[in-house]
Amino acid sequence: MGRFATGKKIERRAAVFAIYERPATPFFMPENPLVTESEDSARKLPKTFEPGSFEERWYSVWETEGRFQPSGAPGSPRFVMVIPPPNVTGKLHIGHAYGRTVEDILARWKRMLGLRVLWVPGTDHAGIATQMVIERQLAKQGIDRRELGREKFVERVWAWKREAKDTIQTQMKRLGCSLDWTRERFTMDPDLSRAVRHVFVRLYEQGLIYRGRYVVNWCPRCETAVSDLEVVHRETDGSLFKIRYDVAGVPGGATVATTRPETMLGDTALAIHPEDLRTSKLAGRTAILPIVGREIPIVEDAILVNREFGTGVVKVTPAHDANDFAMGKRHDLPAAVVIGPNGRMTADAGEYAGLDRFEARKQIVTRLTDEGRLTAEPYRNSVGHCQRCDTVIEPYLSEQWFVKIAPLAQPAVRAVEDGTIRFVPESWTKTYFEWMKNIHDWCISRQLWWGHRIPAFTCPNGHVTVSEEDPAACPTCAAAPLEQDTDVLDTWFSSQLWPFSVFGWPEKTEDFLDFYPTDVLVTGYDILFFWVARMIMAGLHFTGEAPFSTVHLHGLVRIGGEKMSKTRGNVIDPLEAIAEFGADAVRFTLASAASSGATVSVERGRMAGSRNFATKLWNAARFTLSALDGRTVPTELASRALSLPGRWVLSRLSGAARDVNRHLSGFRFDEAASSIYAFVWHELCDAYLEMVKPVLSGREGTEEERESVRGVLSRCLLDSLALLHPFMPFLTEEIWDKATGRPGTLIVAPFPTGEALRTDSEAEHVIEAVRALITRVRNYRGERGATPTEPVELWVAPDSPDRELASGIFAVAPLLQHLGRIPQLRLEAPPASAFRDVVAGLSVGLRVKESASESGGARLEKALSDIEQEYEGLSSKMRNPSFVDKAPPAVVEKTRRRLLELEERRAALSGGRA
């Protein structure tokens, strides 16, 4: 019997000494959750873990029991979020799943912290995007929407919308999103449409909405105007064409440069800079428009023309260029529309009428080249494309509605400046300010069929009325009937109202009064301008309050470093991932991938890793429940004696709980996930469960000690389940049910904050040393080529660097001996025959029966050279007087101690080599 003789006695004394210092039920569980009399069968978990077997069941339990609805008195602390409403264009991809997972983690966490949580679901009609989906469907059947007519077309979109909404809803439920479905909204619901109309009318009356003919971004494929934000600029290789115009009295004429020669048909002037000597001879003259033969004036304009750039002469096409349009206004020039809304040349284009704009370009280039008027050179410039269909955008003069944005932007800037709204990560603040500073008026009318009709009505006499209710007759002249504007509003016009329109605003509904403003908005940074900025402007302008206090802008999901796209074929369907790995694993993966950066990298390998973690938890639960074996666990755990491992694991548990809370508060979902992962896997499972097996099996310890272990185990299990619930709601609820017999209640169980248990640094110190010793013993075997089961003798010198620890370590001698397979453990100086080392401040000696293989020599040499290198570095530091002088004393002290440790190790290892 080689066991250290007094080990047990010391262990017991240590246990008594290890009583909790705060005996008054410091646990977060209000009552003992491990129900005594619950049936045995309910306490057992199936051997195999199948996520599919319980996920949907728990979701419906939560939903039917109203867990997703805010509970508690109005006015009590609440936490409110609105979902960024997904477009009803199809199904959600993994990027949506990421954002929703983050939101659900917040929602579940806050709910468990006792707040009244409301998370509002809904969808967005997504005007142009959804219309395109249906147009494509029709095109497959060879139908053009115009054949169908507006009414029939819109009906079809509604039918599609219902389907898409169901798909999206199912996806979010599978993911586990704790959304309050009783409050689900759609941007074209009657009450939300009323809010849109109300806002339009108010802005109109305030002079912040106006109508006019301007050059706007026009998509010839969608045949609608789009806003500046909906134009995607891309560097494109093209040509810069130089065209010579004849000028009466000026030999050589005037040469202009353009990237779009077809627009010359719409030129109504040439422009020069008034102070440019190169072109002064052209001043006041008249040029002849080639091909057309029309005379156009040469005007002087210092704003449009850059003296330093190009030929100094600019062609002016007021109908097809925003700058030229402004210039035309200044000089009272006519505007000739030569490219029509469908991208084909108009009647004003003369012989080119009816041609596609690019075909016309080709022909004009050929003709002018033949005439000797045109030269071309390669040119790379930025060309605008339609965000939705990638068609080249055409600047186009048309009648549109606009929001005058500057007066709305000012308060929105202030709200962020004064901290009413904060961005997380904070770095987005600057981007937001930059954009707000240069913001332009917003073109809100769209020549589409799917969306909110603009509430403007024109009477037979041409009077325009804007009103919330459809007017029966003209308020000005009483004429009838009135025609409503056929345009619809930009989708984002309704989205900007989402945080309050979902609550029934402008009515002062109970929900609006209770839940507005919301707390946190979570969304991708890609819609900061489209949506977030506009919500802030609208919220402040219409409700007088910022619509949320925190904006968490997250990165965009990338798969294996690449942007997700259908053409790359790397799109991950959340439902497929859920089917393969389970919703909990998918969620955990997404949470772990979260980072402050602009991209969120998701890989299959990580999904498998999370699934493995889920299985790990499952098996740890099985182990724990079998250890409890239906037994009552003492409620008054606090008053019981705890062993050092128990103290250690509870201390670590409290640390994990604090970390999880801290990281969630900072929106660091990756760090939060990693904290609980590391605790459950590497501390609870790898260490604690292994440490207590001998006690649980009855091979060691008293019944009292077994009870203590059971108490610690159940505390660890239940707290881990609670800490993990926001990340892995299904699995944790399933285990919780089996453990407590209270189905479906984890979702509202108190969230561990770590405050109930204290950090036990003494226990941590001792147990960390034990773990280090065990590791050292194991790799010592490896070095010696001994099998893992080969017994190792261990000496711990009483005069170790850490003397206190050296004597304290015997409190856990049986533990060390069992886990390290150490038959001999002696508190005495190691003999010369032993291999010596210093581990965790303990001078130790190790001895194992020599084995044939001696693979450890190289390792030992490496260890020694590592030590030597570090020692050299540190000691040269210590020799440096300015380090000792200027570095903080704590750092110097730490360095000194490390140096001593290295000396010890070096001495020990050098001896061991002999």
Interacting residues with RNA between 85 and 114 (CB under 7 A):
none
- The per-residue b/e assignment along 715-732, b for 16 or more CB within 10 angstroms, e otherwise, is bbbbbbbbbbbbbbbbbb
For RNA, the closer CB: 177 or 607 = 607
CB of 505 to RNA, least distance (A): 29
CB 206 to RNA: min, Å:
24
Q: Does 693 bind RNA (CB under 7 A)?
A: yes
The contact pattern for RNA, residues 39-78, with x = CB under 7 A and - = no contact, is ---------xx-----------------------------
Among 778, 826, 896, 906, binds RNA (CB under 7 A): 778
Site string for RNA, 249-268 (x = CB under 7 A): -------xxxxx--------
Please name every residue paired with 210 in a beta bridge, in sequence order, or none if there are none. 402
CA distances from 449 to 21, 160, 445 (A): 70, 15, 11
Binders in 381-410 for RNA, by CB under 7 A: 381-382
Tell me which of 342, 565, 612, 632 binds RNA, using CB under 7 A.
Answer: 612
Assess 899 for contact with RNA (CB under 7 A): no
Residue type, 477: C
Closest CB to RNA among 297 and 750? 297
Number of residues engaging RNA in binding (CB under 7 A):
97
Give dist(CA 240, CA 380) in Å, integer: 8
Residues 869-898 that bind RNA (CB under 7 A): 869-870, 872-874, 877, 880, 882-883, 885-888, 891, 894-895
Beta bridge mates, 383? 234
229 lines the binding site for RNA (CB under 7 A): yes
Q: Rule CB under 7 A: is residue 620 a binding residue for RNA?
A: yes
Instruction: Decide whether 125 or 611 has the Cβ nearer to RNA.
Output: 611
The Cα–Cα gap between 96 and 167 comes to 13
CB of 685 to RNA, least distance (A): 4
| Residues in 506-535 that interact with RNA by CB under 7 A | 526, 529
- The Cα 837–Cα 850 span in angstroms is 18
Does 665 bind RNA (CB under 7 A)? Our answer is no
What is Dmax (Cα atoms) for the chain?
Answer: 120
Phi/psi of residue 554, nearest 5 degrees: -105, 170
- DSSP character at residue 392: B
End-to-end CA distance of the chain: 30
- Least CB distance from residue 427 to RNA, whole Å? 5
d(CA 153, CA 108): 41
Write the DSSP symbol of residue 528.
I
- d(CA 354, CA 479) in angstroms, rounded, equals 39
Minimum separation from the CB atom of position 243 to RNA (A): 10
- The verdict on whether omega for the bond into residue 425 sits within 30 degrees of 0, i.e. cis, is yes
Nearer to RNA, 203 or 229 (CB): 229
Give the DSSP letter string of 761-807.
HHHHHHHHHHHHHHHHHHHHHHHHT--TTS-EEEEE-TT-SSHHHHH
Give the helix/strand (H/E) hosting 379. strand 374-386
Q: Determine phi and psi for 140, rounding to 5 degrees.
A: -60, -30
Residues 417-476 touching RNA, rule: CB under 7 A, are: 427, 430-431, 434-435, 438, 440
Report the b/e string of 409-443 with b at 16+ CB within 10 A.
bebbbebbeeebbebbbeebbeebeeebeebebbb
**Residue 572 has what DSSP assignment?**
P
Q: How far is the CB of 296 from RNA (least distance, A)?
A: 14
Can you read off the two tokens belonging to residue 80? 């409110």
Per-residue binder mask for RNA (CB under 7 A), 623-662, x = binder = x--x------------------------------------
Residue from 782, 798, 831, 857 that binds RNA (CB under 7 A)?
Answer: 782
Q: Which is nearer to RNA, 206 or 876 (CB)?
A: 876
Binding residues for RNA restricted to 134-193, rule: CB under 7 A: none
Is 541 an interacting residue with respect to RNA (CB under 7 A)? no
| Helices 574-581 and 604-628, packing angle to 10 deg | 40
CB-CB contact of 440 with 403 (8 Å)? no
Interface map 809-848 toward RNA (x if CB under 7 A): ----------------------------------------
Q: Which is nearer to RNA, 266 or 455 (CB)?
A: 266
Confirm or reject binding of residue 226 to RNA (CB under 7 A): no
761, 123 contact by CB (below 8 A): no
| Stretch of 228-236, 341-349, 477-485, 798-806 lying at the interface with RNA (CB under 7 A) | 228-236
- CA–CA gap between residue 773 and residue 813 (Å, rounded): 11
Nearer residue to RNA within complex by CB, 117 or 443: 443
CA-CA distance, 156 to 164, in Å (whole number)? 12
- 31-39, 451-459, 503-511, 777-785 -> range binding RNA (CB under 7 A): 777-785
Closest distance of CB 609 from RNA, Å? 3
* Residue among 459, 689, 747, 838 that touches RNA (CB under 7 A): 689
Instruction: Give yes or no for residue 120 binding RNA (CB under 7 A).
Output: no
Q: Which of 595, 635, 745, 807 binds RNA (CB under 7 A)?
A: 595
Select the span of 81-89, 205-213, 316-324, 366-374 touching RNA (CB under 7 A).
316-324
Instruction: Kindly tell me the burial class for residue 588, based on how many C-beta atoms sit within 10 Å of its own C-beta (0-12, 13-18, 19 or more).
Output: buried
Residue 489 vs 716, nearer CB to RNA: 716
Work out whether 369 is an interface residue with RNA (CB under 7 A): no
Q: Which of 323, 465, 753, 851 binds RNA (CB under 7 A)?
A: 323
Ranges within 850-869 binding RNA (CB under 7 A): 859, 862, 869
> Rule CB under 7 A: is residue 787 a binding residue for RNA?
yes
Contact 318, 333 (CB under 8 A): yes
**Count of positions (residues) in the chain:** 914
Site string for RNA, 554-593 (x = CB under 7 A): ----x-xx-------------------------------x
Q: Which is nearer to RNA, 337 or 687 (CB)?
A: 687
- If DSSP codes are grouped into helix, strand and coil, which group holds residue 287? strand
**3 state SS of 855:** coil
768 scored as a contact of RNA (CB under 7 A):
no
Which CB, 310 or 517, lies closer to RNA? 310
Q: Does 605 bind RNA (CB under 7 A)?
A: yes
| Residue 899 contacts residue 878 (beta carbons within 8 Å) | yes
**Where does this chain touch RNA (CB under 7 A) — which range of 13-21, 321-329, 360-368, 715-723?**
321-329
Cβ partners under 8 Å of residue 653, min gap 6:
679, 684, 715, 716, 719, 720, 752, 754, 757
Peptide bond preceding 517 in cis form (omega within 30 of 0): yes
**Per-position DSSP letters for 706-759, written without gaps between them:** HHHHHHHHHHHHHHHHHHHTTTSHHHHHHHHHHHHS-TT-GGGSPPP-S-SS--
- Tell me the window of 81-89, 141-149, 286-294, 782-790 that interacts with RNA (CB under 7 A): 782-790
What distance in Å separates the CA atoms of residue 163 and residue 174, rounded to the nearest whole number?
17
Q: Which stretch binds RNA (CB under 7 A): 294-302, 320-328, 329-337, 700-708?
A: 320-328
Binding test (CB under 7 A) with RNA, winner from 90, 297, 310, 411? 310
DSSP annotation of 444:
-
Q: How far is the CB of 859 from RNA (least distance, A)?
A: 7
Rounded CA-CA distance 684/61 in Å is 30
Closest distance to RNA from the beta carbon of 467 (Å): 32
Amino acid making up residue 516: Y
779 binds RNA (CB under 7 A): yes
| Pick 519 or 790: Cβ nearer RNA | 790
CA angle 206, 208, 213 (to 5 degrees): 130
